[in-house]
Amino acid sequence: LRMSLAEKIVKGDIKAASRLIRDIDDGVESAIDVLKELYVMTGRAHIVGITGPPGVGKSTLLDKIIEVFRKEMKTVGVIVVDPTSPFSGGAILGDRIRMQRHSTDEGVFIHSLATRGHVGGIARSTHDIIKVMDAMGKDIILVETVGVGQDEVDIGNAVDTSIVVLVPGLGDDIQAIKAGILEIGDIFVINKCDHGGADKLEQELRMMLEMGAKRGDNWQPPIYQTEASMGKGIEKLVAGIQRHRNLQQQKGLYQRRERERARLAFWEILKSSVMTKLQQQLSLNGELDRIEEALTTREKDPYTLVEEIMQKIMPR
């Protein structure tokens, strides 16, 4: 009896999952067919985002968080989105080394995602890979991304719990990033507490959170101080992550978020399909050339042209 790739993935087959993820990375079209099959098996994992400026200790934290979840016998998926920025030239290697000890653990599945060469965009690939790990039956999926408010790697709507990591001594940087982080953070971590200045940062952060708009879900984002490299403060942080999950499930907030997420994912796929199709059609027989020509010579205006095209593809 031969199992399909999707069936193998649902059984937790790491090789099969790796193959599909490679195809997603490369934009191989048949990957979509497998994702179609997997969709019905998704929606069970707790998806946790970890974001923050380069070098604040996100990967080190991840490594320690994995350890706590594994002690509780939870299975874990990890996606590290590497920004290939000058800051993190060695990030992938670093991530691998830091999490290496978990790579022989059957219950942990780690995938690093370089931002270059993603056909449908990095956010789209990340969404799809989350779905694969979800379908594999991972209890927790941890997604590490750098920075806040970078459209390119904005996966905020894909996660259930969003953790923002900061370190003392960011100085004016916190002013620059605060607008973005206050909105997306469900949980805040002040890492590298051994450096001092953590209490001051916590006070600043708390003040900014209190001044900000009230959240609809009545959740007050907790702030945890950690020293990830020594494993300090991790258990409390993990308890906070689970508390956030429990609240979502109690109040039906999870369903609301899931619905919002489904809507956004649907529109994203629809938009990219429509645009691709339109571009193909307009490039046919040099129509796009004629449009550009008509526009530059002012023979026609763009509004009329768009109306004409809309008329053609969606009459009434």
C-beta of 56 vs 177, nearer to ligand GTP: 56
User: How far apart, in whole angstroms, are the C-alpha atoms of residue 130 and residue 166?
Assistant: 25
- Does residue number 194 form part of the binding site for ligand GTP (CB under 6 A)? yes
Query: At closest approach, how far in Å is the CB of 260 from ligand GTP?
Result: 28
Which pair of tokens denotes residue 119?
């056909």
**Binding test (CB under 6 A) with ligand GTP, winner from 14, 39, 54, 117:** 54
110 in contact with ligand GTP (CB under 6 A) = no
Shortest distance, CB of residue 191 to ligand GTP, whole angstroms?
5
229 binds ligand GTP (CB under 6 A): yes
Helix (H, G, I), strand (E, B) or coil at 11: coil
Using the rule CB under 6 A, is 157 a contact of ligand GTP? no
Q: Rounded to 5 degrees, what are φ and ψ at 286?
A: 65, 25
16 binds ligand GTP (CB under 6 A): no
**If DSSP states are collapsed to H, E and C, what string results for 103-153?**
CCCCCEEEEEEECCCCCCCHHHHHHHHHHHHHHHCCCEEEEEEECCCCHHH
> In the structure encoding, which two tokens stand for residue 247, read together?
């609240």
**Which of ligand GTP, Mg ion, none sits in contact with 244, Cβ below 5 to 8 A by type?**
none
Print burial letters for 199-226: b (CB count within 10 Å at least 16), e (below 16). Answer: eebbeebeeebeeeeeeeeebebbbbbb
- Quick note: the x/- pattern for ligand GTP over 69-108, rule CB under 6 A, is -------------------x--x--x--------------
Which among ligand GTP, Mg ion, none contacts residue 55 (Cβ within 5 to 8 A by kind)? ligand GTP
Binding site for ligand GTP (CB under 6 A): 54-60, 88, 91, 94, 146, 191-192, 194, 227-229
